[in-house]
Structure 1
Amino acid sequence: MQNASLPYVDEHSTVIAAGTDDVWRSLCETLDRSFSRPGAAGYARLVGCADRTVSGPRPLAEGSAFPGFRAVAVIPSQELVLQGRHRFSSYALIFRLEHVGPGQSRLRAESRAAFPGLAGGLYRRLVIGTGGHVVGMRRLLSAIRRRAE
């Protein structure tokens, strides 16, 4: 699965009062913490995610995984590409960091996903159509920002 071939879903961004190295560290720690909780593993099993457990190197590197996601491209302090798949979707979450000024960074999170078939379409309506994805992404970016600042 190549993330560029997946349909664009949305992008969220936030400016963080910290350098890209600090934001990167916060991004990795927050992702590990958020997606390594028992609820994430349970959900990953329920929908049939390919990756259901925490595995691979830490700090995050290519091949690192947690429920629902596997790191497929890692450029520390610049870009992290996570991919995943389950019964209803193939998806990618791409984090990009950029320096925007002294002690300031922008963190962008781009979501891409395909939802094949009737079940995929229903799942898309539940996750994207209800606004749940937007709420989850905003919470995740806020948690990263709080941890970095």
Structure 2
Amino acid sequence: MTLSMEPLPYIDEHSRPIDAPADAVWTALLKVLRREMGGSATFARLLGCDPAQGTAAFAGRPGETVPGFRVVEAEPGRRLALRGRHRFSSYALTFVLDGGRLRAQTHAAFPGVLGRLYRAAVIGTGGHRIMTRRLLRQVARAT
């Protein structure tokens, strides 16, 4: 599977104020992504994710991976764009640091009947919102 770079439909954005220097927020973001997503390789394989495995020494550089996501753009201290896909969805999660806030923007497409069912299970139940806000909280705590 190759990751397409075509635009995906907007899903949502969540943000959290973080009173810390951008480099500290960046370091915390990478640490949280390694810890929280690093253990999800089994789940990523079950869904048929591309990528399913993470980069051993994930440092947020383009081409590096955490299970389910590949870094497609990185501006340390400013922006980290992740992209992935699996059987039911193509998706992007972009973290933006600006003005003392960390924002997480999600875009995704859910093709076909199974995609629509997956969207209902993940987005419709609020599970995505809960997980995204949890990631942002963890980054704030880690700074």
Question: Which of the five TM-score ranges fits, normalised by the shorter chain?
Answer: over 0.9
Task: Confirm or deny that 1:145 pairs with 2:140.
Answer: yes
* Structure-to-structure mapping, 1:65-80, within 5 angstroms: 65-80=65-80
Q: CA deviation at 1:35?
A: 0.5
Q: Quick one: which amino acid aligns to residue 78 of structure 2?
A: Q
Match of 1:29, SS? helix
- Paired with 1:91 and 1:63, the residues of 2 have a C-alpha distance of 16
Partner of 2:93: 93
Task: Confirm or deny that 1:113 pairs with 2:108.
Answer: yes
How many equivalent pairs are there?
A: 140
Q: Quick one: which amino acid aligns to residue 65 of structure 1?
A: T
Percent identity of equivalent pairs: 48
- Paired with 1:119 and 1:108, the residues of 2 have a C-alpha distance of 29
Q: CA deviation at 1:58?
A: 3.5
Partner of 1:2: 5
Between 1:82-91 and 1:56-65, the stretch displaced more is: 56-65
Match of 1:109, SS? strand
Q: Quick one: which amino acid aligns to residue 118 of structure 1?
A: V
Partner of 1:27: 29
Deviation beyond 3 Å, 4+ runs, structure 1? none
Task: Confirm or deny that 1:52 pairs with 2:52.
Answer: yes
- Paired with 2:8 and 2:56, the residues of 1 have a C-alpha distance of 25
- Please, what is the CA RMSD of the aligned residues? 1.1
Partner of 1:18: 20
Contact 2:91 2:106 survives alignment (8 Å)? yes
- The unaligned stretches of length 5 or more in structure 1 are none
TM-score between both structures, scaled by the size of structure 1: 0.90
Q: Quick one: which amino acid aligns to residue 66 of structure 1?
A: V
- Paired with 2:58 and 2:5, the residues of 1 have a C-alpha distance of 24
Match of 1:108, SS? strand
